[in-house]
Chain A
Amino acid sequence: ETGVTQTPRHLVMGMTNKKSLKCEQHLGHNAMYWYKQSAKKPLELMFVYSLEERVENNSVPSRFSPECPNSSHLFLHLHTLQPEDSALYLCASSQDTGTGYQPQHFGDGTRLSIL
């Protein structure tokens, strides 16, 4: 299923660089999510957008800045990251938020390495 597309698939950046991750969903969903996945740890929810409005921000450092220009696109802007930010960043979408049966559809993720 290619309903959620993330670019780039891999990113290596220095601690002083600025880069952006992009996510696009073709499923007509109203909600989009950013997650961080580190080895052997649970998925960490970073941000949730519903109808382009941010509804959740789980105490994420300000060096991560999300942007949702419309319900199909989601960006994660990165600046002055730390080595511990190296991880797989997953984007997901669901039809809506605030109800029980809302399976999330994930992209393949961006593997981020901070030098």
Chain B
Amino acid sequence: GQNIDQPTEMTATEGAIVQINCTYQTSGFNGLFWYQQHAGEAPTFLSYNVLDGLEEKGRFSSFLSRSKGYSYLLLKELQMKDSASYLCAVMDSNYQLIWGAGTKLIIKP
């Protein structure tokens, strides 16, 4: 079966760096997405990786290793507004998104 694993919850301190991991087993691979979802709000697109390596976008970076079935989202200079759930999703060979259950990130002052 297809599976996406990510930690249920993480806690970090304002100003620090946090890495949210995602491992996947899917039927084929057509890219990996990260979304941010604040409580009671819509998920919003953060990043897309289809080739191995690191994609940097401001304070957020996303890494992919296709051979290991592994990705991480790196958040730098954490701000209180970064408190949210972070969803990892993989597009399989049928171009369907397979979603993880999300990682709830709690930022403490």
Contacts and interface: CB of A to CB of B under 8 A. Distances in A.
Interface of A: 1, 4, 40-43, 45, 56, 90, 97-109
Does more than half of chain B's interface fall in helix, strand or loop, or is it mixed?
A: loop
B42 A109 contact: yes
Interface residues of B, number: 24
A68 B30 CA distance: 27
A4 B101 CA distance: 23
Contact of B43 (A41, A100, A101, A106): A106
A98 to B, nearest CB: 5
Contacts, number: 49
Contacts of B30: 100
B87 to A, nearest CB: 7
A34 to B, nearest CB: 13
A40 B22 CA distance: 15
Contacts of B40: 108
Contact of B91 (A1, A42, A43, A100): A100
16 contacts: A1-B44, A4-B42, A42-B4, A42-B102, A43-B87, A43-B89, A90-B42, A100-B50, A100-B95, A101-B48, A102-B91, A102-B95, A103-B33, A103-B45, A103-B48, A106-B43
B43 A42 contact: no
Given A43-B43, A100-B31, A104-B45, 11 more contacts: A40-B101, A40-B102, A42-B100, A43-B87, A45-B97, A98-B95, A99-B95, A106-B42, A106-B43, A108-B40, A109-B42
Interface in B87-105: 87, 89, 91, 95-102
Contacts of A40: 8, 101-102
